[in-house]
Structure 1
Amino acid sequence: MNAIMADDGSFYYQIQGSAEGTNYNIIYQDDEDRDFQPEIEKLLSGFEKSLSVYDPDSVISRINRNEDIAIDNFFEAVFNKAKAISILTEGAFDISAEPLFRAWGFSAQEKSIPDNGQIEILKKQIGLDKIEIKDRKIIKSMPEAVLNVNAIAKGYSADVTASFLDEKGCKNYLVEIGGEIYLKGVNTQGEPWRIGIDRPSENNLIPGQDLQVILQLTDRGIATSGNYRQFYVDNGQKVTHTIDPRTGYPVKHNLLSTTVIAPDTMTADAFATAFMVGGMDKVTEWIDSYPDLEALFICDEEGEYKVYYTEGVEEYIINVN
């Protein structure tokens, strides 16, 4: 735990570590000078035991193997939110699309391009209309259906950690887990927190190294999704990890990066992914259906980066490169 003196003479504390296959960074102010890292790591460990597909004994892994297991509160919250956003985005966001990611080589060791027949078979296994919760159990109409909540779980874990800090009486903090962030109160300068959005260049490999936009905001969740770092090239064809569950194919449009601001990070996380799938044509329609959202988009227009954003984002922007 590192101590940071704020401009008003109080102390903020920074803790860092690993969770959910990624890293976390948390800065918080606490008048009692408490080290919350052991409790937060225990909380995140329990979270992984529910929702990590990398843990063979987690709740979600056992559900994917069709074992008879009761769900917990973490799983239920994520599943219900995912289903609601899937309906609103016409299936563009779908946590049951894992078979497609495996087929395209994004959840497997070997990269490959599936043929049309394979995609049509896999699409029949996908869709949250085939999965429901009943009596604290997951019921599948198609046993082959599997779930992966990576596109929403990191955001929810940030919210869970923020709730923990709220319970401890912390009024100023930043919680960042795998790039998904929840902010409350003010930073060490007594101002709203500043968040940088990376320039969506394939050469920009280190987060925070080259920023396109800087925002200043607080009391919100914020998440960014992009397709400029996770891709591979097969026989000269670029294959991005943003796959449309409805078509079974990677998307092809000029939207490179989407940042969503919402009342909670779980919502921001899921919509950032959905917007990357839907592209600019669908974004306006979906945002109008969910008025608590604000979003910023970076597009490739003839080799130049163009920044677009909803009206409410303007008050947060302090720099655009």
Structure 2
Amino acid sequence: MMKRMKYGIRALCAAAALAVCGCAPRGGYVAAEGVMLGTTFRVTADVRGMTARQLRDAALRLDREARASMSIFEEESLLSRLNDNRTDSVDAHIAYCLRLADSVGALSGGVYDVTVKPLVEAWGFAGRAADAAPDVDSILRFVGRGKVRIEGGRLVKADPRVQLDFNSVAKGYTVDLLAALVERAGARNYLVEIGGEIRCRGVNASGGPWRIGVETPFDGNDLCGASVQRRLRMSGGGLATSGNYRRYYVGADGAKVAHTIDPRTGRSALSRLLSVTVAAPTCAEADALGTMYLAMGADAALERVRADAEARVYFILAAPDGGYEEYVSPAMEALLLD
């Protein structure tokens, strides 16, 4: 259904869903929070025989493992060394993310592509300043999933200048790893959240479904939780929200440059599609699919989800009058609270 809604502009934080549990943990639930992957994390779970401090310490060990493998911002991470051709050996994390990227890339017809690292870097979203005038046509020669593969545990590149960027899947994948950690600790009910991306199971401490807010997507929205557009309820699976309203800048020519790059054009994927929230069996899938839909743009994304009866998506789009339009897929409607 397409529904038009207008909202006042209030300040807000990252393209994210917000866990709104509504109460302090009790009845055997333990809560831990801190910093992971350069953002915040929170876990609420009925773990057995584990204190909040132990849960936090376990999460921080996982953070170190994930960053050492998949970060493009740390020079000595495995991914950075692969990108710089200092090694060709991959680990289980990188192999998993590349397989998932292949699957989502095939769905998207190549719009979702993790070889966009040289473009992301040139536009200033990979830990360094943007090029004054990125030579997009030159860089595109080294972009394309067909230019890299894994053989016998080793990364094979068609050109040494091919580089990978897992920022569209690594956070969701780490959420799944953290969820697996709390399940191994005996949790049957939990909500795991890293930077607004979520994996949950069972019920909250009050015995009801986990409640999650989706933020309003306006430029400069940087105060988490100040403006919630919709609330959802979940009892299992992953949820991720993607948007171009936080990680962006305005170039010298006055044009907006956002972090989601279309690998077909080498430029920002900007359309009236402002925010994409996806529910999927895993958070890694939800994370990658959200980026895929955002990169497709409004028209192509709407066409795809309308043809997929199982797609669980919630789109927020810019309306001609300056307000918002919403699209909620039929499979997603059961998750909406308001």
Q: TM-score, normalised by structure 2?
A: 0.87
Describe the shift of the 1:263–1:290 C-alpha distance in structure 2 as closer, same or farther (beyond 3 A).
farther
- Residues 292 and 142 of structure 1: is their aligned pair in 2 closer, same or farther, counting only changes over 3 Å? farther
Match in the other structure for 1:247: 265
Of 105, 113, 123, the residue aligned with 2:140 is 123
Partner in structure 2 of residue 267 of structure 1 = 285
Name the count of aligned residue pairs.
312
Cα deviation for residue 287 of structure 1 reads: 4.0
2:19 aligns with none
Contact 2:149–2:155 (CA<8 Å) still a contact in 1? yes
Q: 1:24 aligns with which of 31, 41, 52?
A: 41
Query: Which residue of structure 2 lines up, in the alignment, with residue 318 of structure 1?
Result: 337
Amino acid at match of 2:183: D
User: Cα RMSD over matched residues?
Assistant: 1.9
Which amino acid letter does the alignment assign opposite residue 157 of structure 2?
A: K
Q: Deviations over 1:205-241 (max 9, x none)?
A: 1121101111111211000000111211123222222
> How far apart are 1:101 and its partner, in Å?
1.4
Residue 30 of structure 1: CA displacement? 2.4
In the TM superposition, residue 112 of structure 1 has moved relative to its aligned partner by 4.6
Q: Does 1:222 align with 2:239?
A: yes
Cross-structure match for 2:327: 308
- The more displaced of 278-287 and 309-318 is 278-287
d(CA) in 2 for partners of 1:26 and 1:108? Answer: 28
Q: In the TM superposition, what whole-angstrom CA distance separates every residue of 1:259-310 from its partner, at most 9, and x where no partner exists?
A: 0000000000001011001023222454478765310000001211111111
Cα deviation digits, residues 170-211 of structure 1 (max 9, x gap): 011111112211011111211110110000012421121101
Q: In the alignment, what sits opposite 1:167?
A: 184
Unmatched tracts of structure 1, length 5 or more = none
What's 1:65 paired with? 84
After TM superposition, give the deviation of residue 108 of structure 1 in Å: 4.6
Within 5 Å, which residues of 2 pair with 1:141-152?
Answer: 141-152=158-169
CA distance in 2, matches of 1:185, 1:225: 25
The equivalent of 2:75 in structure 1 is 56
Deviations 1:75-112 (A, max 9, x none): 11111111221121111111110111122222254345
Q: Which amino acid aligns with 2:292?
A: A
Inter-CA distance 201–248: structure 2 relative to 1 (3 Å threshold): same
- What CA distance in whole angstroms lies between the structure 2 residues aligned with 1:228 and 1:301? 15
Greater shift after overlay, 159-168 or 235-244?
Answer: 235-244
> Would you say 1:178 and 2:176 are equivalent positions?
no
CA distance in 2, matches of 1:233, 1:284: 27
Q: Percent identity?
A: 33
Q: Which has the higher contact order (CA 8 A, sep 6+)?
A: 2
- Aligned partners of 2:110, 2:30: CA distance in 1, in Å? 41
The answer to whether 1:236 aligns with 2:254 is yes
CA distance in 1, matches of 2:331, 2:100: 24
Which runs of structure 2 are paired with 1:271-290 in the superposition (5 Å)? 271-284=289-302, 286-287=304-305
Does the 8 Å contact 2:31/2:42 carry over to 1? yes
The CA deviation at 1:42 is 1.3
Q: Match for 2:98: what amino acid?
A: F
TM-score (norm 1): 0.92
Counterparts of 1:60 and 1:291 in 2: how far apart (Å)?
A: 36
1:294 is aligned to 2:304: no
Q: Per the alignment, do residues 291 and 136 of structure 1 end up closer, same or farther by CA in structure 2, a change over 3 Å counting?
A: farther
Match of 1:87 in 2: 106
Question: What SS class does the counterpart of residue 311 from structure 1 fall into?
Answer: coil
2:198–2:239 CA contact under 8 A, matched in 1: yes
| Long gaps (5+) in structure 2 | 1-22
Give 1:148 shift: 1.1
Partner Cα separation in structure 2 for residue 264 and residue 291 of structure 1: 18
